A and B are shown apart, each in its own frame.
Chain A
Amino acid sequence: MAKKFRITNNIRRFRFFANEMTQQQLAEKVGASRQTILAIEAGKYSPSLELAFKIADAFDVKIGEVFDYEVYET
């Protein structure tokens, strides 16, 4: 069995706690498009380290609190 890993995130939860911040508002804060935020949130796109830091910074938390990775076997 091969080990694979996927990046997970808590962006939806953090948006909720940030006064139900919209994807568009977060996108504007980090200089990305809403489409990209939507893809990251859905786990369809793994952001660059720079964008990941910007997202964490937008919520005023450490990057590890927003993004994590899990190992799974296929």
Chain B
Amino acid sequence: MSYQEKRTIVSIITGVIILAAYIIYSYGRYQTGTISSDDLKVWAGIILIFIGIGVISTIIIQIIFHILLSISIAIQENMKTGKCDDKEIEKTINAQMLTDEMDKLIELKSMKVGFVIAGIGFVIALTTQLLNYPAAVLLNVMFISFSVGSIFEGLTQIYYYRRGIKNG
């Protein structure tokens, strides 16, 4: 499995955990009656907090992932050559992390999938208002569709790395 695939899997897992945490937390609070569906300020606050948590945890998890990856490469090099040459390890890490035209094409195509899902979510969110649902539903549908779009973007990347991608 390539570096890009591993990194994408880590991103997907992070995204799923944050989305699940948001749903459990917000639904739990809604069930217990501590927030109502009309209290837009509270919902906006919760969503903003979770966006912050998402950004920070993604950065932290990516840092941890890169540290673990470097360690695993160092161990592999050590087992292969019997020595721990810093320059060789750095060279291997740089070669693995190289982003080229195929990675960019896959990123573009999968980003399109993410945007389509987020776009559909946006339309659904607007439709809920025409159907007289509370405003909190609009916020939730938008936030969840953006999150799901991001997860599907990752899944599409994995799909293209596995199946291959045709140029053009």
Taking beta carbons and an 8 Å cutoff, which residues of A are in contact with B? 24, 27-28, 31-36, 39, 42-48, 51
Contacts and interface: CB of A to CB of B under 8 A. Distances in A.
B98 interface: yes
Contacts, number: 50
B102 A35 contact: yes
B163 A47 contact: no
A45 B168 CA distance: 10
B87 interface: no
Given A32-B101, A47-B101, A48-B167, 19 more contacts: A31-B100, A33-B2, A33-B96, A34-B2, A35-B2, A35-B4, A35-B102, A35-B161, A36-B101, A36-B103, A42-B164, A44-B164, A45-B102, A45-B165, A45-B167, A46-B166, A46-B167, A48-B101, A51-B100
Contacts of A33: 2, 95-96, 98-100, 102-103
10 A-B pairs closest in CB distance: A44-B164, A46-B167, A36-B102, A35-B2, A32-B100, A33-B98, A33-B100, A36-B100, A45-B102, A45-B164
Contacts of A48: 101, 167
Nearest to A36: B102
Contacts of B4: 35
Interface in B51-107: 95-96, 98-103
A8 B60 CA distance: 43
B32 to A, nearest CB: 49
Contacts of A24: 95
Nearest to A43: B164
A24 B163 CA distance: 21
